[in-house]
Each structure stands twice: as structure tokens, then as C-alpha cells.
Amino acid sequence: MKREELIRIIQNEVMTAPEVTDYLGITKQNLSSLVKRGKLVPVKESGGIRLFLRSDVEQRKKEAEILKEKYRPYDMN
């Protein structure tokens, strides 16, 4: 695999913790809770830095929307 291709894959398919919190609209504390409960698993952790696969984060967002619709339908708009 060429270096450029690998860089493109990482940039498109890997998200940092701040990117995840922005995408999901949650706090750092909520993200930590998701990780502790095994709801979102980082692919790499090092020195306080967590990296997540975009597909895992997108799946979590879909699950959260389903739960919100089920348990908090009055919040949906």
C-alpha cells in the first residue's frame, strides 16, 4: 500500500476523540462513559489520545437516534 493511500484512508476512516464528540454532539464525559460501558471501542489508545473507526461512530449515532426516538419522542424535531 502506498503512503498516500494509507494517509487518505486514515484521514477518512479514523476519528479522534474531539471529532467523535463533535459528530455525536456529546461531551468528553459522555464519550468516556460510552467507552467504559463498551458501547464505543477505540481502535487505539496512547497517552490520553483515543482513535475510533468512523464506521463504529456512525453506527453508534444511528443506535442513539433509535433510542432517542423510542424513549424521548418529544425531543425529536
Instruction: Give the structural domain span for 41.
Output: 3-75
| Helix (H/G/I), strand (E/B), else coil: 27 | coil
Phi, psi of 72 (to 5 degrees): -140, 60
**How confident is the model over 19-35, as pLDDT tens digits?**
999 999 999 999 999 99
- Say if pTM beats, i.e. exceeds, 0.85: yes
Query: What is the total count of domains within the chain?
Result: 1
CA–CA dist 20, 6 (Å, integer):
21
**How confident is the model over 48-76, as pLDDT tens digits?**
999 999 999 999 999 999 998 889 877 76
HSE at residue 72, side-chain half, CA atoms within 13 A, is 8
CATH of the domain at 39: 1.10.1660.10
The residues pairing with 53 across neighbouring beta strands, listed in sequence order, are 14
CA–CA dist 53, 69 (Å, integer):
25
